[in-house]
Amino acid sequence: MAFFNLIMKTMLTNLVSLDKPSLLIARGGVSIKEEPLWNTKKIVNVTPSGLPVSVDYHWEKQFIYYSEMPAGELYRVKLGDDGSVSPKKIIITTKSMDFSQYAVDWVQDKIYWIDVEKNDTLYVSNLDGTMTKTLAVLNRLVRMTKPILDPYKKYIYFTSSNGIERIGMNGKDRKMIYSDIFFIGTDLGSDMAIDFQTDRIYYIEKVYSRISSMKSDGTDNRQELTNVYKSKFLTCYQGNLYYLGSKYDLDTFMRYNPSTGATTQQDLEHNLWDYRIYHPFAQVSGTNPCGSNNGGCTHLCLPNHTGNPAYTCECPDKYEKQGNTCVESS
């Protein structure tokens, strides 16, 4: 019955929101903002202990993830078929007051995050925060809002002091794919998005007040939009690039079509801490090499971006391999 309800929800959502998708937003709590009238459904309220500042989700499992300031923790709630919301669970704990550098992998069912208080250490865990493993120490020198995932090609993208880099979802083969001297000491490129349909990465260059794009391997770099002052929070959906602009110091929801060059906008009449396009087409299913019996792994199964092998069995932190399993380190 739960699966049938999810299918019906998806079909109804598709009918009304292919062109005007719902938004999962962080503003005065966590809410789902639905077109065409921007009706708002509150998911999480503001509490005296924290203000939600970042959001993500897993559509198929109906999980909503969010972080609060100044707690430095990542929380998760589950949406019920009857509209109910489960009590929040603490998934990840950091010492960062404004922790927002995480991303949900809806294909491999993992969470990737960066702890800026630990030399930008990159971690991975299961969706419930278990089996945490250190993947790499990035030492980026500049901050970004979130790592950007390509769960189909099994890569993680992030900004560093010199440009845009990528690394495999298993923490291997780190590579600079775009370099610009003006990244040094700045927060350029801090907002990125991947268009999986065209295999292009869109990114903001704040010093130039423009949005540019390139192929996911760093080639074919080109300018897309200029004079986009105060732009932020890029995301791609159904062949369009969405981002937030500014009008009278309030956010505007912008949509840019790279094929036609057309740009439209809609005033939001307030400012957002964060948002995500909330729609099943924004999280199309893919091949999970660990999907069958966790790949046969006893603990952590991680995809391999090279495809050979398709995945590897790994041990979480404080564990070490012993034969075909993992045991606690002595």
Three-state DSSP class for 315? coil
The rounded mean pLDDT for the chain is 88
The confidence band for 47, taking pLDDT boundaries of 50, 70 and 90, is confident
The confidence band for 143, taking pLDDT boundaries of 50, 70 and 90, is low
* pLDDT tens digits for range 74-128: 999 999 999 899 999 999 999 888 788 999 999 999 999 999 889 899 999 999 9
Q: Residues, the chain, total?
A: 330
Share of the chain above pLDDT 90, in %: 62
Closest CA to 94 of 111, 110, 70, 127: 70
The confidence band for 248, taking pLDDT boundaries of 50, 70 and 90, is low
Please give the residue that has the higher pLDDT: either 137 or 21. 137
Query: Does residue 308 register a pLDDT over 90?
Result: yes
User: DSSP state, 86?
Assistant: P
Query: Does residue 284 register a pLDDT over 80?
Result: yes
* pLDDT tens digits for range 311-327: 999 999 999 988 889 99
> Looking at residue 135, what is its pLDDT?
98
Question: Rounded to whole angstroms, what are the CA distances from 73 to 18, 69, 88, 115, 293?
Answer: 33, 8, 11, 11, 30
Domains of the chain: 2-328 (2.120.10.30)
Burial string for 216-226 (b: 16+ CB within 10 Å, else e) reads bebeeeeebbe
